[in-house]
Amino acid sequence: AAYDAEGYTHFMRKEIHEQPAAVERALRGRLDLRFHTAHLGGLNLDPREAREIRRVKILGCGSAYYAGQVGAQLIEELARIPADAEPASEFRYRNPVVEADTLYVAVSQSGETYDTLAAVQELKRKGGRVLGVVNAVGSAIARECDGGVYLHAGPEIAVASTKAYTSTAVVFALLALHLGRIHDLSPADGRRIAEGLRALPAQIEEILKQEDRIAELAREFAAYRSMLFVGRVRGWPVAREGAQKLKEVSYVHAEAYPASELKHGPLALVSPELPAVAVVPDDELLDKNLSTLGEIRARRGRVLTVGHRELGEDAIVVPKNEPELDPILLSIPLQLLAYHAAVALGHDVDKPRNLAKSVTVE
Ligand code: G6P
């Protein structure tokens, strides 16, 4: 077969391990190390048009939506353009206001998700400008958009998205760098981000080397019936995607919450029976996150931390990059956690029950 899980037990694991190469391909030929920006050939957006963008709205479903949330934060942080992500399905059902100075971005691995396609069609009907961040070349969504960026992640077979999610986040970092350098991102910051992006493949490799330890943690945590995933700001979409992945393949109930919202509800659930996965990068919110860890531990909840240092007995440490790019690396261990939890529980990892790789019907 031209493409099979050879050498790997499952496509999901194969695709997790393909990420350094996938990220390499997403970056290839796109970084400009002279002017500290990114070139994205298919945008169809000249600098004058790009400067006029006042808002960015990102649409997608499932992991594409969570990757879009990472993307929205990158665009807002680096280009200082207000940006947010919304499930494509919600967007198309709510009769949205379509604005001329908003850049709409549709995200889809398959390029065939019906809800996302319908959102793009609705936008086009109302005169909106839509870019696609798509993996499948020539797919329905790619054809419908005014321009876009391909992921070049290669085929993704496992239902649970891993490499396409990561490549999407990387492409958004490139788009944020590109828009940022047209708006107000300084050459020095542009250079910092471009160099950070170049460091990603080797850093992902470093994380993948910790697979045995992560698998051990996954086996322990798979014994719980439910888990909480928390993160603040940059850690929040990471927590959401981590919970999504765990639910999809291991069927362990998982709920993601912004760390700051814990005290407004879910803290009532924390007990020795409900462990938490806390996404805690070494950024300007570290102190706030440490106090959240304290709140969970005070209720005897077990905490698995994912961050840049050992914050307790159960900790996964990832390499440091630029703070804006942290979410990309922090997501990787959570993919391995979900994968190994599913394997430990004996589930059909590549084809979880009730789910389809691409939902092409309403
Ligand atoms: C399905 C899959 C998800 C995926 C979502 C969006 O629900 O089960 O894993 O994230 O579709 O797919 P897309 O191809 O549009 O990225």
What's the pLDDT score for residue 2?
45
pTM: 0.96
Q: Is the pLDDT of residue 174 over 80?
A: yes
Q: Of these residues, 124, 288, 351, 357, which one is catalytic? A: 357
Active-site residue, 357 included? yes
Q: Which residue has the higher pLDDT, 212 or 267?
A: 212
User: Cα–Cα distance between 186 and 340 in angstroms, integer?
Assistant: 42
pLDDT digits (tens, 9 = 90+) for 88-114: 999 999 989 999 999 999 999 999 999
What's the pLDDT score for residue 1?
40
What's the pLDDT score for residue 148?
97
What's the pLDDT score for residue 8?
83
ipTM at complex level: 0.95
**Mean pLDDT value across the chain:** 95
Name the pairing type of β-strands 303-307 and 83-87. unpaired
Residue 356 CA: nearest ligand 1 atom is 8
| Site residues for ligand 1, CB cut-off 6 Å | 61-64, 108-110, 113, 116, 159-161, 355, 357-359
Q: Is 279 helix (H, G, I), strand (E, B) or coil?
A: strand
What's the pLDDT score for residue 361?
83
User: Cα–Cα distance between 67 and 35 in angstroms, integer?
Assistant: 27
Give the residues across from 148 on adjacent strands: 132
User: Cα–Cα distance between 200 and 169 in angstroms, integer?
Assistant: 12
Residue type, 140: A
pLDDT confidence bin for 6, thresholds 50/70/90: low
What's the pLDDT score for residue 7?
75
pLDDT digits (tens, 9 = 90+) for 12-63: 999 999 999 999 999 999 999 999 999 999 999 999 999 999 999 999 999 9
**Of the candidates 292, 68, 77, which has an alpha carbon nearest to the alpha carbon of residue 190?**
77
